A and B are shown apart, each in its own frame.
Chain A
């Protein structure tokens, strides 16, 4: 059902597509060009070694055409990272920042490389797609994980999802995000989509505690230093995009007029009184009380009971009947069988649902 909702939601929500990002073509990062962002400027004073290196561009103080922008990985200085600030001259607050990190400072096991090859997202589907490569470290006490979240100064960290590497190879994940509030001129750096690859030890403690999203982090807002655990030839890119033209979350919009001795207007004062009397205050309506009552009373409570039971399903939880199946049989027989039969089930579901719809009378 959730899958269907996502699929249907994607179709219903199709409006304007506004996706941009950057992709790795094997030798350099190339921009996926949006028409509304036409310039990039290398400009971020917090980074001591900032600059942009790449094809057709060496001077970090001038502008260049975003459409022709590219960065060659070999031009990077090992252990440094660069920041590219892209904006539209017509609307300067509508911009994106790409940070790129490359280097070989130390190794994290002999096979611990990880990097992004593509970071794109769409406000149409509200999904961010992250592609890249990662390798399971040879040291069994360490593991690689990918964390994605949306962060803003308004709502904090949202939509946090973490995926751990279990096999070495390319990864391709799509993460849902709620959408981003429209920034004003005074809060033009209020949100971003973050994706960070972490290398952590088995105590789940980040190796370099200096950065909020260390190692491998290029989260410039938190990390004023370079990661010290980059693997040779690894290259990471993050994109932080600001002020996208999408709808902000709903909130109270009425602003009370000034009503005092120095600025007295009877009409405005009466309007303020009327609004103050009748305007519903969302925070003062206690829906949670009703829900807590419903959760403990039949028959509603049985619905919540079933919902909680299903929500606690986990492949790693201990079932009531535990049967150990060798992983070889599981990988070669059970998982393909599981996938195939579930596909057939969905096919039959769609077929029968179509037949059911034919007999619906409205």
Chain B
């Protein structure tokens, strides 16, 4: 009960902070870009599905890998700021 309450309290705070961010709009430049890109991708996918999926999977993997590595480097850098760590 207590732990659940604390977790829900933290979740509530995070949700509130996120709710302050602007709404997603498909008419925004970024939203338009996604819709346009999806149109091109769906066209390519209808003709060459394996190539399309392969490219998407490779790009997604690269982004996820580099992002994870970047986060790791940041965390490692922060840890090394502690006086007892080297």
Seen from chain A, the residues whose Cβ lies within 8 Å of a Cβ on chain B are 1-4, 276-281, 284-287, 289-290, 293-302, 305-306, 309-310, 313, 315, 317, 319-321, 323, 325, 334, 337-339, 341-342, 345-346, 349, 360, 362
Residues of B within 8 A of A339 (CB): 50
Seen from chain B, the residues whose Cβ lies within 8 Å of a Cβ on chain A are 1-4, 7-8, 11, 14-15, 18-19, 21-24, 26, 28, 30-31, 34-35, 37-43, 45-58, 60-61, 64, 69, 72
| Cα separation A346 to B22 with both chains bound (whole Å) | 39
> Main SS of the interface on chain A?
helix
- Other-chain residue from A287, A310, A319 in contact with B43 (beta carbon distance below 8 A): A319
| Cα separation A360 to B55 with both chains bound (whole Å) | 23
Contacts A4-B61, A297-B24 given: A313-B45 contact, CB under 8 Å? yes
| Cα separation A4 to B57 with both chains bound (whole Å) | 9
Taking the closest CB of chain B, its distance from the CB of A257, in whole angstroms, is 18
| Cα separation A295 to B23 with both chains bound (whole Å) | 9
Inter-chain pairs besides A294-B18, A341-B51, A346-B54, 16 sampled, C-beta below 8 Å: A1-B57, A1-B60, A277-B2, A285-B8, A285-B11, A293-B18, A298-B24, A309-B38, A310-B38, A310-B41, A315-B46, A317-B42, A342-B50, A345-B55, A346-B58, A349-B54
What would be 5 A-B contacts, judged by CB atoms less than 8 Å apart? A1-B58, A280-B3, A281-B1, A285-B8, A298-B24
Chain A residue at smallest Cβ distance from B73:
A361
Contacts A320-B43, A360-B69 given: A305-B7 contact, CB under 8 Å? no
| Cα separation A290 to B12 with both chains bound (whole Å) | 8
Residues of A within 8 A of B34 (CB): 302, 305-306, 309
Residues of B within 8 A of A290 (CB): 11, 14-15, 18
Chain B residue at smallest Cβ distance from A295:
B24
- Which are the 3 A-B pairs with shortest beta-carbon distances? A301-B24, A342-B50, A309-B38
Contacts A280-B3, A305-B34 given: A297-B19 contact, CB under 8 Å? yes
| Cα separation A278 to B3 with both chains bound (whole Å) | 5
Taking the closest CB of chain B, its distance from the CB of A38, in whole angstroms, is 45
Chain B residue at smallest Cβ distance from A309:
B38
| Cα separation A305 to B46 with both chains bound (whole Å) | 20
Q: A280 to B4, Cβ gap below 8 A?
A: yes
Q: A320 to B42, Cβ gap below 8 A?
A: yes
Taking the closest CB of chain A, its distance from the CB of B54, in whole angstroms, is 4
Taking the closest CB of chain A, its distance from the CB of B50, in whole angstroms, is 4
- Other-chain residue from A294, A297, A319 in contact with B46 (beta carbon distance below 8 A): A319
Q: B2 to A302, Cβ gap below 8 A?
A: no
Chain B residue at smallest Cβ distance from A304:
B24
| Cα separation A47 to B45 with both chains bound (whole Å) | 49
Taking the closest CB of chain B, its distance from the CB of A43, in whole angstroms, is 48
Taking the closest CB of chain A, its distance from the CB of B75, in whole angstroms, is 12
Q: A305 to B69, Cβ gap below 8 A?
A: no
Contacts A297-B18, A297-B19, A315-B46 given: A287-B35 contact, CB under 8 Å? no
Residues of B within 8 A of A4 (CB): 57, 61
Taking the closest CB of chain A, its distance from the CB of B86, in whole angstroms, is 15
Residues of B within 8 A of A321 (CB): 39, 43
Contacts A277-B2, A280-B7, A297-B24 given: A349-B41 contact, CB under 8 Å? no
- Other-chain residue from A284, A302, A313, A362 in contact with B31 (beta carbon distance below 8 A): A302
Taking the closest CB of chain B, its distance from the CB of A309, in whole angstroms, is 4
Taking the closest CB of chain A, its distance from the CB of B64, in whole angstroms, is 7
